[in-house]
């Protein structure tokens, strides 16, 4: 097992000077922060405890509405909280927090996409296309490379997104996907989850309250051997 100790040479290169304790949910988590310096798909690794091979990892894109404003229309905030609860319960893991608001388009275009969706009835991906934008410009290769730099070769990835699984596998990391099941109460939120099922092949359980929903099983072909 690869252990990333605060006192090791690897941790010295990977943010040991940022090591501190985070108080959360009545507990304390040791954490260090490592920058991912990419101009388009950068962000930070938050390395909790002493994670080794097989640890929990969440690759997460910034979402102001879901994380800070408590939006009922997307699953981002709930996914982040659930991922952190699981990492905290195990005492170690890695949160990869990427500055990819609006699937890489930014907050202004995200808001324009919402407006287009309201006016036309298009889903979130179709709305971007109507505005002349790619449905999703995010790249997860920089995040995957940063995880590989930590020395991780096998992870349990908290995700419904096959693109994230693929990026880590391409970086030589053995991926065991751990789906996140989030229920949204608003009609727009339920339609958003359905759009992710249809357009991006996210493995989200079927919702009987959304017309045309069908259950998808995990397509991921298994971990690298």
Q: Taking the domains of the chain in order of start, what are their residue ranges? A: 24-100+138-207, 103-134
The one catalytic residue in 138, 156, 191, 197 is: 138
Q: Which of 103, 136, 190, 197 is catalytic?
A: 136
Count, residues in the chain: 225
Q: Is 136 a catalytic residue?
A: yes
Calpha distance 33→20 (Å, rounded): 9
Q: Is residue 138 among the annotated active site residues?
A: yes
Q: pLDDT tens for residues 53-105?
A: 999 999 999 999 999 999 988 888 999 999 999 999 999 999 999 999 999 99
Other C-beta atoms closer than 10 Å to the C-beta of 173 total 22
Q: What is the per-residue pLDDT across 148-204, written as a single tens digit (0 to 9) for each?
A: 999 999 999 999 888 899 999 999 999 999 988 777 777 876 776 676 776 566 665
Q: Is 120 exposed, middle or buried (0-12, 13-18, 19+ CB in 10 A)?
A: exposed
Q: Give domain 24-100+138-207's CATH superfamily.
A: GTP cyclohydrolase II (3.40.50.10990)
If you average pLDDT over every residue of the chain, what do you get?
Answer: 84
């Amino acid at each position: 097992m690869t252990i990333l100790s605060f006192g090791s040479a690897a941790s010295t290169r990977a943010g040991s000077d940022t090591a501190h304790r985070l108080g959360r949910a009545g507990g304390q988590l040791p954490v260090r922060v490592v920058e991912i310096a990419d101009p388009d798909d950068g962000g930070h690794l938050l390395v909790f405890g002493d994670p080794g091979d097989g640890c929990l990892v969440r690759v997460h894109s910034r979402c102001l509405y879901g994380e800070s404003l408590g939006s009922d229309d997307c699953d981002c905030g709930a996914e982040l909280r659930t991922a952190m609860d699981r990492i905290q319960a195990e005492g170690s893991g890695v949160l990869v927090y990427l500055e990819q608001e609006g699937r890489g388009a930014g907050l202004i275009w995200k808001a324009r996409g919402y407006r287009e969706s309201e006016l036309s009835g298009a889903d979130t991906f179709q709305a971007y296309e109507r505005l002349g934008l790619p449905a999703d410009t995010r790249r997860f290769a920089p995040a995957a490379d940063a995880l590989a730099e930590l020395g991780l070769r096998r992870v349990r990835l908290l995700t419904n997104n096959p693109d994230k699984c693929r990026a880590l596998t391409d970086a030589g990391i053995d991926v065991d996907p751990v789906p996140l099941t989030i229920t949204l109460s608003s009609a727009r939120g339920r339609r958003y989850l359905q759009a992710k099922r249809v357009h991006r092949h996210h493995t989200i359980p079927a919702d009987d309250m959304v017309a045309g929903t069908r259950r998808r099983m995990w397509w991921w072909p298994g971990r690298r051997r």
